[in-house]
Amino acid sequence: MRIFPLWAAALTLLQAAALAQSPTVAEVKAFLDAAEARLLQLSTEAGRAQWIQATYITYDTEIIASQANEKLASAQAELAKQAAKYASVKLPPDLARKLMLLRVGITLPVPSDRAASEELTRLVTAMESTYGKGRYCPAGVTDEKKCLDLTEITRIMANSRDANQLLDVWRGWRTISPPMRNDYRRFVELSNKGAAELGFRDTGALWRSRYDMPPDDFAREVDRLWEQVKPLYVSLHAYVRWKLREKYGDIVPERGPIPAHLLGNPWAQSWDNIYPLLAPPNADPGFDLTDILKARKVDAKGLVRYGERFFTSLGFAPLPQTFWERSLFVKPADREVVCHASAWDIDSVDDLRIKMCIDITGEEFGVVHHELGHNFYQRAYNKQPFLFRESANDGFHEAVGDTIALSITPEYLVKLGFLEKATDPSKDIGLLLRRALDKVAFLPFGLLVDQWRWKVFSGQITPDQYNKAWWELRRKYQGIDAPVPRSENDFDPGAKYHVPANVPYTRYFLAHILQFQFHRALAQAAGCTGPLHRCSIYGNQEAGRRLNAMLEMGASRPWPDALQALTGKRQMDATAILDYFAPLQKWLDKQNKGKPIGW
């Protein structure tokens, strides 16, 4: 005798009930309860399969993960379509919100046709694995073991100042993505088919519908935030361009976009690695966090312990022991893994993990805080119903850990014993410039990745224009250009993990706005009266209480409610970035006087 889960029987009955002319509130509640139980089971199964596939990349683990993902995605699509049938029922606010989240909470909208559904999930799994296994073999290298993976390429681009070497590895990393091009075209077709079955114009419209406002209103909101911070970015761009021209000569134009390979990062999304080329005179803070960590012989787990201690200093409980037993902290020598840093909540309760190939650097110190922000957020809302076990919007999830990282100030490093005393405030321009090269430089890239995808999903960008349109957007928003001619034989968007892995990217743009807004509010709660960039909330229980109050809400309320709980404001506001970097803006204006600005 075969035993069926209770939720399966309940759904069978409720599917029939859904056909009734006037569903009752009780019927909708029963449907949602059963849906949540089903999704919890399937998401846990998929999480475990995805973990294995990401940490043991093999033919078989790809298939296992693809099958689990397909089951979950199919269930999400099925339940989303059923949820639409209850749209006319007048419901209590919590049930109405659950119904809305069930409908719009899908990143991969699979078609109802089983063959198409299986093909779509197989395509995404294959593209992600292609990315994870990506290698570039420089000219003359015949031994695959000596070929360069992304970790090695990232290290070269961060540290090399040889323009020819930088160009070689920049171009080399982009040899991994052309094989994805046709798969991506087919992925768009199938994903849009699934989105249409849910009642959306395309997948991009579906993604934009999850922000508690109409999709087109959200697109305008993103533009509004960008316009707030654009003047600061343009000033930073102008300064960086003329300093790079001093270093590299005519390969950097006096006017126009900056060549992408010279900015210290495989995607030119953050520029802090080239700070030594840009540092103001007499602005050396007198310490290098990477050197300090290495001198203290901090290992990968030790780096993560520092991040955990920041959260516990605010009043949060330590991470569970299973976190330390099940996480991946270093790249294994015996197998392929996806090294892209990520935080995991396998069972939506307390099976928390991170997956990183940690390198002991100051940059990774910040990344660890970022990833643990996800984990502490995940645990904070784990008492909520399943559909509310998510951040207020996806930008909130990305912002929390980075908010903590903004408290990595000289004063904080003193408390850790890394410095004997805080650095002289007269050196702050260097610290602010370094942070702007990370945070401010990222903003247009964080915006344009989904600008490209939204246009691809809508058909405004056709497959024969994928690469052309990508570089048009990079020139428009970033003032960055390819260092060598690119064509439609290339597929440069696929060289960024989030594109083949189908991870929405606007969340990172929002996170870079929100983290400064959060930081300003928490600094005020902690009683900080100095310059915003010198405020650290480390050890402040009141700031921790305010933060936790927002985290515990999860997605149970519209994001303006969660924002208000922490900041007292209901609108995202980029002026906190301008406040934070005000001394730097003044300094940049002086440096750029009489020099070309814009591109």
Just list the catalytic residues: 340-341, 370-371, 374, 398, 498, 508
In whole angstroms, what is the distance from residue 544 CA to residue 421 CA?
25
Q: Kindly give, in sequence order, each residue whose CB lies less than 8 Å from that of residue 307, ignoring residues fewer than 6 positions away.
A: 365, 368, 369, 371, 372, 404
In whole angstroms, what is the distance from residue 129 CA to residue 207 CA?
24
Q: Which residue shows structure tokens 């935080």?
A: 343
Q: Which amino acid is at 485?
A: P
Residue pair 112/132 in contact by the 8 Å Cβ criterion: no
* Three-state secondary structure call for residue 353: strand
Q: Kindly give, in sequence order, each residue whose CB lies less than 8 Å from that of residue 230, ignoring residues fewer than 6 positions away.
A: none
Q: What is the CA radius of gyration of the chain?
A: 24
For residue 354, report the phi and psi dihedrals to the nearest 5 degrees. Answer: -125, 155
DSSP letter (8 states) at residue 422 = P
| Beta strands 480-481; 258-259: pairing state | parallel
Which residues share a beta bridge with 328? 355
Q: Kindly give, in sequence order, each residue whose CB lies less than 8 Å from that of residue 556, ignoring residues fewer than 6 positions away.
A: 94, 97, 381, 384, 385, 388
* Three-state secondary structure call for residue 54: helix
b/e for 280-306, b at 16 or more Cβ within 10 A? eeebebeeebeebbeeeebebeebbeb
Q: Which amino acid is at 221?
A: E
Helices 150-159 and 163-173: angle between axes, nearest 10 degrees: 150
Q: Kindly give, in sequence order, each residue whose CB lies less than 8 Å from that of residue 489, ignoring residues fewer than 6 positions away.
A: 178
Token pair in block for residue 3: 């035993």
* Three-state secondary structure call for residue 430: helix
Considering only CA atoms, which of 283, 514, 267, 298 is closest in space to residue 394? 514
Residue pair 445/265 in contact by the 8 Å Cβ criterion: no
Other C-beta atoms closer than 10 Å to the C-beta of 19 total 8
Residue pair 199/515 in contact by the 8 Å Cβ criterion: no
The DSSP-derived string for 206-252 is HHHTTSSS-HHHHHHHHHHHHHHHHHHHHHHHHHHHHHHHHHHGGGS
Residue pair 550/560 in contact by the 8 Å Cβ criterion: no
Ranges of beta strands (E only) in 485-544 are none
Helices 59-84 and 114-132: angle between axes, nearest 10 degrees: 130
* Three-state secondary structure call for residue 345: strand
Token pair in block for residue 599: 């591109």
Q: Which residue shows structure tokens 């707030």?
A: 228
In whole angstroms, what is the distance from residue 124 CA to residue 360 CA?
31
For 109, 358, 489, the CA distances from 453, given in Å and listed in that order, are 15, 30, 19
